[in-house]
Amino acid sequence: MAPVFALVSKNQTLKLAFEYFLLALAIFWFKSTGGFWLSLLVLISLTYLYLRTTAQASRFFIAAISLAILVFIFPINLEQRLNLISFSLFSSLVAYLLIGTKNIIFINRRFTSQLVYFLIWSGGAYMLFSAFSLRRQIFFFILSALLFKELYQFLTEDSRGVSLLKSLTLSLVALETAWAVSLLPFGMISSLILLIANIYMIHYLILNYESSLPDAKLVFKCICALLGIAFALSFFSNWNLS
């Protein structure tokens, strides 16, 4: 084992991979058994990785807090070990992408930032579809508003007020779309995909308009893509009409 640890300590890429693998193990251990000390271990691990380099820490603060909250409250069926392993690896991967974007590890930060925020937001959407209650609707709306506001402040030069207005509008659309999609006879994963596709199309339009109204060709492409996704989900999904 000593040669392995020596190699990991010298190679920066292997060192990062090993650190986030340990984070995934800590999350897996915590979600499997629970307990105060394990929750404290996960919290300290996330805090250490995020604040090890303090530069731009405040710029992605909401995303970091949202990820930590999802790690603690995300519902997991302990009898399905594959789901538990997948969630642990997913959380560790999102943490790596978020911290890598903050620390300017990635060249295309515009792409990775959107990927990170939508992955975290998708976790909240999954929770909403797993139990469509009033409490989770409120949580989903607040999560969406805060995440999108921080994302637009990073991607655009808009003022805080404009970013807040965009985020509140998109969050309201996301909540209403989730409610409408939940009425369709789709499975939860299909509903989640349809919601993510719809909200990302609207987000894409918000970022890519050049005048007071979005370009007609861009709107047409987004609508065609969304209809294509909806048709594919309708064709391949097991319809539940009961």
DSSP 35-101: -HHHHHHHHHHHHHHHHSS-TTTGGGHHHHHHHHHHHHH----TT-HHHHHHHHHHHHHHHHHHHHH
Reported as type and span, the H/E element at residue 192 is helix 188-207
Distances (CA, A) of 236 to 190, 194, 197: 9, 13, 16
Of 68, 122, 123, nearest to 95 by C-alpha is 68
Range from 12-21, 22-31, 136-145, 172-181 carrying the lowest mean pLDDT: 12-21
pLDDT tens digits, one per residue of 8-18: 555 566 677 78
Structural contact between residues 230 and 195, judged by C-beta atoms closer than 8 angstroms: no
Provide the residue ranges of all domains of the chain, joining segments of one domain with +. Answer: 2-184
pLDDT tens digits, one per residue of 143-160: 999 999 999 999 988 788
Our measurement of the distance from residue 31's CA atom to the centroid of its chain's CA atoms, rounded to an integer in Å, reads 19
Pairwise CA distance, residues 162 & 178, whole Å: 24
Q: Highest-confidence range of 15-19, 90-94, 193-197, 218-222, by mean pLDDT?
A: 90-94
CA torsion sign for 27, 31, 32, 37 is positive
Structural contact between residues 124 and 73, judged by C-beta atoms closer than 8 angstroms: no
Structural contact between residues 53 and 102, judged by C-beta atoms closer than 8 angstroms: yes
What is the token pair recorded at 201? Answer: 């199309």
pLDDT tens digits, one per residue of 112-145: 999 999 999 999 999 999 888 899 999 999 999 9
What is the token pair recorded at 190? Answer: 């299909």
